[in-house]
Amino acid sequence: MRAQGWGGAGGALGIDVFFRAVEFHHQLLHVLQPSVFSGVLGQRRRAITMVPTLLLLGLSALIAPSASYSCYGDINALQAPTISCTAVRAPDCAAGIAAVRRTADADIIRLRKYEIPIKRVARNLCLDPALIAAIISQESRAGLLLDNGWDQGRQRFGLMQIDRRYHQPYGTWDSEEHINQCSTMLVLGINEMRVRHPTWTWDQQLRGGICAYRARIGNIQVYDEDPCGRDNSYVNSVIGRAQYFKRHGF
């Protein structure tokens, strides 16, 4: 059973309610032809038919700022320690978290192009859309670092940088199909941590799942300060980006 959470601006539930309300209103106006709306009686009927729409729009206004969904915990509750300079890619190393936030601030402009497919995939997988956006930002800077969809070594493909040596990429490099494939791999990694380490807390399992996504293998046996061991800065960077994107509508 899916656990529905609340929190995070611009959730898909509010968006769905809004568009359903608009669609309902248009259907009413189509069925009730203009000839029906004559005189005072017509004006009253117009007002009556608008009531359900206004109620739904009001509901969407209440829900939209706080609607979100995730079966894997609240991303804002995760702690992301200051990033060290070990095993971390430039330009994040020199300035740590501050640099992550600066790059996230630049990446969010490009991420807006993919906001709808990100949220659609997230809803289907019961995953936080901010986490998907964070991995896209971390892996490819939302496409900025790619050459026709590939990394410099032409081994990793797409916004979320799937490794073709281990997986067959689906779709084009920036397609919803690609986002869905890689996000599904992330979910599998998190669930693998749940099975292997049932005594871990939810945040340990989530961090372990992010690490497993990065490593492309689930070979994590112990949990110390961070499941990624020497590459803990990757997880911390993803968490920092996800929290930033969540505050900005993802």
What is d(CA 243, CA 78) in angstroms, rounded to the nearest whole number? 9
Please compute Rg for the chain using Cα positions: 22
| Residue among 23, 139, 177, 192 flagged as catalytic | 139
Cis peptide leading into 91, omega within 30 of 0? Answer: yes
Annotated active-site residue 225? The verdict is no
Residue 64 near residue 19, CB atoms below 8 Å: no
Q: β-strand 162-163 against 156-157: which pairing, if any?
A: antiparallel
Phi/psi at 149 (5° precision): 95, -5
- CA distances (Å), 113 to each of 36, 45, 107, 133, in order? 43, 41, 11, 11
Residues noted as catalytic: 139
